[in-house]
Chain A
Amino acid sequence: GQNIDQPTEMTATEGAIVQINCTYQTSGFNGLFWYQQHAGEAPTFLSYNVLDGLEEKGRFSSFLSRSKGYSYLLLKELQMKDSASYLCAVRKNSNYQLIWGAGTKLIIKP
C-alpha cells in the first residue's frame, strides 16, 4: 500500500534548529513536496525534491534520499511565526496526484 509517516507533533525553541522527518513507501516516486499550513489556513508550498540531496532556500532546507524513502525538512533560526503544521506529500507518477502525510504540528516556545 501507500504510506507516508511523519511525527505528529514536535516542540522547539525560538532561535534553534529543528528537523522534521518524513518516510514514505509508495509504489512509484516522482517527487516529494513540503508544505506549511498555519492553523485555519491553506497549505502553502515550501519545497520540492525529486533528486537525492539537499535543497536550500533561506532558513528552510529539504533533503531527499530515494533509496531510503526518506526526506527531512530543516528549519533554522526558528521564529515564532514558524509555529504551524508541516505536510509531506509524494507524487507517485505523472498524473499529478499527491499522497499526503498527516502533517507534523510544530510548536515554537520562546
Chain B
Amino acid sequence: DVKVTQSSRYLVKRTGEKVFLECVQDMDHENMFWYRQDPGLGLRLIYFSYDVKMKEKGDIPEGYSVSREKKERFSLILESASTNQTSMYLCASSLRGGNTNTQYFGPGTRLTVL
C-alpha cells in the first residue's frame, strides 16, 4: 500500500513564525503535491514537484515555498505565517508514468495561526 505521512496532525503557530510542514512517501513516486483545503472550496494546489530539486507553482503559491532535496520528501515552508494561512494542508504523491497518475494523500496537517 502507498503510504504518505505528514509530520504533524495539528500545529499551532503565531503570526510571523516560520513554519515547516514535512511530507514523506514510501512508494518511490516522482510527483509530489501540496494542497490546502478550506471549507466550501475545492483543494487548491500550492506547489508541486515532478522530480528532486524541481518545483512548479500551483494556483496559490504566494506566501509559501517548497523544498525537495530527496525523492521521498517534500517540504512546505511558510516564511512568515499569517492568520489567513490557517487551513488544512494536504500532501499527495503520484507516479509520473502510468494511465491514471492517481494521487495518494497523507492524513493532513491542520495548521492554526494565531
Contacts and interface: CB of A to CB of B under 8 A. Distances in A.
Contact of A42 (B44, B96, B105): B105
Interface residues of B, number: 24
Nearest to B106: A42
Interface residues of A, number: 23
Nearest to B35: A100
A97 B107 contact: no
Given A31-B100, A43-B90, A102 B108 contact: no
B45 to A, nearest CB: 6
B90 A45 contact: no
A87 B106 contact: no
B104 interface: yes
Contacts of B100: 31, 33, 48, 50
A102 B42 contact: yes
Interface string A14-51: 00000000000000000101000000111111001010
Contact of A101 (B42, B48, B50): B42
B107 A42 contact: yes
A45 B43 contact: no
A97 B58 CA distance: 8
Contact of B42 (A48, A96, A99): A99
A87 to B, nearest CB: 7
Contacts of B104: 45
A100 B50 contact: no
Interface of B: 4, 31, 40-45, 48, 50, 58, 90, 94, 96, 99-108
19 contacts: A31-B100, A33-B100, A33-B102, A33-B103, A41-B107, A42-B4, A42-B90, A42-B107, A43-B90, A43-B105, A45-B103, A50-B99, A50-B100, A96-B48, A97-B48, A98-B45, A98-B103, A99-B42, A102-B40
